[in-house]
Structure 1
Amino acid sequence: MALAALLQEGATWRGFALPLGSAVLLGLLVWWGLLALARRMDGRDYRRARIVRVIAVPLAFALPLVLLAFGLEATPLRERPLEASLHAIRIGLVGCVSWLLVRAVAAVEAAILRKHSMEVADNLAARRIHTQTRVLSRVVMGAIILLGVSVALLSFPAVRQIGATLLASAGIIGLVAGIAAKPVFGNLIAGLQIALTQPIRLDDVVIVEGEWGRIEEITSSFVVVHIWDERRLVVPLTWFIENPFQNWTRRSAQMLGTAFLWLDYRVPMAAVRAQLQAICESDERWDGRVCVSQITDTSERGVQVRLLVSARNSGDAFDLRCAVRERMIDFLLREYPESLPRLRAELDRQTVEGRHAAPPSEAQTRSPGAEDGPPAVQPQAD
């Protein structure tokens, strides 16, 4: 009896140890080999190496789980513990597959962005592709993660029962869930609209809430605007769909810049035009398109001169406008100081001499019929 019990116990131990030990050992070898392969391909920049880096790490965890599932099925484990163990392995495999799909989407995104570099002078097409790729990839990644979590949760019978109950009472609960999820779905739809219609793109120059800045990042729920003074303005995606804003680089990065000067009526416009042309030609920020001087307004004190110049982008346009103001004022101070605005006062000779005349007499200042003077009509004597 004792010998039979020992033999049965040994057979049971071998029934667990051999399949599980083999599965764990083989799984560790696969895990170590795939991670070593991923480390070996790290830093290499050709297509095969990038593909290996994407799939090797998730497979290093997924394949050992598959081997462990086969090992558990080969053991004499009872039905309920075996089913619970296989259920946990299936959840792990769902996570690994979701991880692999997310890494694949990120790899496709990186390949597209790498092919269309924004480090060029005219990067309008590249910015359009970058915006579409980044927004759509974020949406796809979010959908993959949501699907993976849903599949994992629905593998539990209790969760499936809850789901059936919710579907049965989908009226009120669906309304509540819709109201609660409105910001999430609103941003999701806004992200798709921005990706397809592209009212904004990465590196666009925009005016948002009175702030000048560039689109630095577009996520699945908000946009980061890099303000000129190094601040970051975080704006929800739906704001760009529901509110008007200025986009200075919607079609092209080229900009017109104006510099206004109030000058005297004696300003020589021919000299101003020649000097503005010289300023533009000597400044590398001028793109050669527009260089115009015009009197755009007049007042009782002087004239308003508009100096209109063009540049390749908004940053160059701002700096060029400042340079035009400074150099034009310096030119007028040196060559035509009488052209600068001034106040005039002209006094005629009679007014000046009247300042020193004798004061008027009482008769000169008395009005006819004054109450304290003689009557205007003298009475006749009888």
Structure 2
Amino acid sequence: MSSVLTAVLGVTGAAVAAVVLVEASHWAMIRIGRRSALAAELAKTMHRPFLVTVTLFAIQQALRVVAGEFPGRAEVLHLLVLLCIGSLGWLVAALLLVLEDLTLARWRTDVPDNLRRRRIKTQVVMLRRVTVAAIVILTLGVMLMTFPGIRALGASVLASAGLVSVIAALAAQSTLGNVFAGLQLAFSDAIRVDDVVVVEQEWGRIEEITLTYVAVQIWDDRRLILPTSYFTTKPFQNWTRSSSAVLGTAEIDVDWSTPIEPLRTELRRVCEGSDLWDERVCVLQVTEAIGGTIRLRALVSAADAGALWDLRCLVRERLVAWMWENQRGALPRMRTQLDETDDGVAPVRQSLGTRRTDVSPDARVFSGGDDAEARGAAFGGADGHDDTVSTAAGVSGLSGR
């Protein structure tokens, strides 16, 4: 009876001492946390797993030292060992989560020019998922290895590891492919959380990247769920990979008799009067002249994709309204010539040896300004101006998206 009482008192004393030690450490960490964000986060997140781990370890050691032989002693000690291993894995996971949360708090993404911050956030989130999964697997493995029968089974499994690995690889080929694709996306910088992309002809934002799938928030608040391997095997558009500023177009078909310069002036006035424009590009060009109409393309720029969409709609709306009020003859119309001797068009005489030099800078995309010259140099070849001009002509024919 005295041995049982001694064992109970010893175990209780060890548990109480562990709780007192942990609470004292927690109180000290809270005091330090008033001056340190790391200490405050440790005190908040790691208190419970630290308390459980230290208390279980103290009880286990007290049973080993104080308690003598009693029925079920080995099973109780084995159970305590399993609980200690599980709580230790919990403690390590909590520590890693604290460090990752501090990294995310330091590199916030709700600021301008956040490309680097979004890249770090994507990598940290992916590392968090990998580390938590690895800790869980390792903890379960260590717990299973405490059983003698499973240790023997593990030796026999290792003897036939070649066959098992082949079967597992074939069975989990798709899953493993997505996992490796997720790791590749996290560190290749192909996409990041909050990137604006166009996938499957849908425009949206990367909302979440996991080891197996990527969630894309479509502009109308739908969610497009794609496997991570999609972004490593198929082409897609990333509008914010190097910068959030983008260009967009608004196209209008008008009559051949339309004066272009007044429309350029109106486009400039619309852009300068809107806070959506980032003051980089404001160009009006004739991109097609076929059939009975000519096509005008207004090329404008904005700080991000959302502002660009609104700016494109605003430009299209204002140009249409201005033409209706000031140039109704510019509206598309069909012509029928009744008298072949007089088409009503005066001949235009211009010396072939003269060239116009008073072209408006708002009529050029790849020349005529600092930003335009930089764009022309970026799309130009090694031969200089000739390649730049030919490339500009090709790019100007692309449809704006």
TM-score w.r.t. the length of structure 1 is 0.82
Question: How far apart are the structure 2 equivalents of 1:312 and 1:21?
Answer: 65
Residue 33 of structure 1: how far off its partner (Å): 6.3
| 2:265 paired with 1:274 | yes
Residue 233 of structure 1: how far off its partner (Å): 1.4
Per the alignment, residue 240 of structure 2 pairs with 249
Question: How far apart are the structure 1 equivalents of 2:209 and 2:46?
Answer: 27
Residue 14 of structure 2: which of 14, 23, 28 is its match?
Answer: 23
| 2:169 paired with 1:198 | no
**Cα pair distance change 1:176/1:12, threshold 3 Å:** same
Listed as ranges, the matches of 1:63-102 within 5 Å are: 63-78=54-69, 81-102=72-93
Per the alignment, residue 385 of structure 2 pairs with none
Per the alignment, residue 388 of structure 2 pairs with none
Residue 118 of structure 1: how far off its partner (Å): 1.4
Per the alignment, residue 181 of structure 1 pairs with 172
Q: Contact conserved, 2:251 with 2:295, CA < 8 A, in 1? A: yes
Q: Which runs of 5+ in 1 are unaligned?
A: 1-9, 351-382
Counterpart AA for 2:101? A
**Cα pair distance change 1:349/1:299, threshold 3 Å:** closer
Per the alignment, residue 297 of structure 1 pairs with 288
Question: How far apart are the structure 1 equivalents of 2:176 and 2:288?
Answer: 51
Counterpart AA for 1:83? A
Q: Deviations over 1:183-206 (max 9, x none)?
A: 443233222211211110011011
Secondary structure of the equivalent of 1:119?
A: coil
Q: How many residues align?
A: 341
Secondary structure of the equivalent of 2:221?
A: coil
* Larger Rg belongs to: 1
Question: How far apart are the structure 1 equivalents of 2:8 and 2:108?
Answer: 56
Question: How far apart are the structure 1 equivalents of 2:32 and 2:261?
Answer: 68
Question: How far apart are the structure 1 equivalents of 2:94 and 2:35?
Answer: 17
Question: How far apart are the structure 2 equivalents of 1:39 and 1:162?
Answer: 47
Q: Contact conserved, 1:35 with 1:60, CA < 8 A, in 2? A: no
**Cα pair distance change 1:88/1:42, threshold 3 Å:** farther
Question: How far apart are the structure 1 equivalents of 2:199 and 2:34?
Answer: 40
Counterpart AA for 2:102? A
Question: How far apart are the structure 2 equivalents of 1:32 and 1:118?
Answer: 36
**Cα pair distance change 1:142/1:41, threshold 3 Å:** farther
Identity across aligned pairs (percent)?
Answer: 37
Residue 160 of structure 1: how far off its partner (Å): 1.3
Q: Which runs of 5+ in 2 are unaligned?
A: 342-401
Q: Deviations over 1:90-148 (max 9, x none)?
A: 21121112112211221111111111221222111111111112112221222122111
Q: Contact conserved, 2:4 with 2:67, CA < 8 A, in 1? A: no
Per the alignment, residue 353 of structure 1 pairs with none
**Cα pair distance change 1:342/1:132, threshold 3 Å:** same
Q: Which region of structure 1 is more displaced relative to structure 2, 322-331 or 25-34?
A: 25-34
Residue 75 of structure 1: how far off its partner (Å): 3.9
Q: Which region of structure 1 is more displaced relative to structure 2, 268-277 or 173-182?
A: 173-182
TM-score w.r.t. the length of structure 2 is 0.79
Question: How far apart are the structure 2 equivalents of 1:183 and 1:282?
Answer: 53
Per the alignment, residue 236 of structure 1 pairs with 227
**Cα pair distance change 1:176/1:208, threshold 3 Å:** same
Residue 142 of structure 2: which of 137, 151, 161 is its match?
Answer: 151
